[in-house]
């Protein structure tokens, strides 16, 4: 996981004890995210932490008001951001649950 993150970022800034990381990019106005986790640290609080990082980047790329400060958007009134976070989280949980259900067979 750390090597994949270093390859993506092009540097060696990641610590060997990194628990998770997010890689986000935009291809043709279609933001994509890869979330990587250490197998031993697959915990909900780590999932949601990394999902919030991904959601912040995706939200800023898809929001037409990118020149406004983040504080104008990250309030408890921002339903669009809240739904983005919860949708990303549910997609991740469903993928993990499906993977481990299949592997337990």
| Per-residue pLDDT tens over the stretch 41-60 | 777 888 888 888 888 878 77
The residue with tokens 């337990």 is: 104
pLDDT at 43: 77
CB neighbours of residue 22 within 10 Å = 19
pLDDT at 1: 63
Instruction: Please give the mean pLDDT across all residues of the chain.
Output: 76
DSSP state of 20: E
pLDDT band at 14 (very low <50, low <70, confident <90, very high): low
Residue 24: predicted pLDDT: 73
94-105, pLDDT tens digit by residue?
A: 888 888 776 665
Quote the strand ranges of 1-105, DSSP E: 20-27, 30-37
Tell me the pTM.
Answer: 0.62
In whole angstroms, give the CA distance from residue 18 to residue 9: 14
Beta-carbon contacts of 93 under 8 Å, excluding residues fewer than 6 positions away, are: 47
């Amino acid at each position: 996981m750390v090597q994949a993150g270093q390859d993506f970022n092009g540097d060696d800034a990641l610590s060997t004890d990194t628990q998770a990381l997010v890689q986000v990019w935009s291809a043709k106005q279609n933001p994509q995210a890869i979330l990587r986790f250490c197998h031993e640290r697959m915990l909900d609080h780590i999932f949601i932490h990394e999902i919030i990082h991904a959601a912040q980047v995706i939200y800023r790329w898809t929001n037409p008001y990118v020149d406004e400060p983040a504080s104008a958007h990250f309030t408890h009134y921002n339903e669009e951001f809240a739904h983005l976070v919860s949708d990303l989280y549910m997609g991740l949980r469903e993928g993990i649950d499906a993977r481990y259900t299949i592997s337990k067979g």
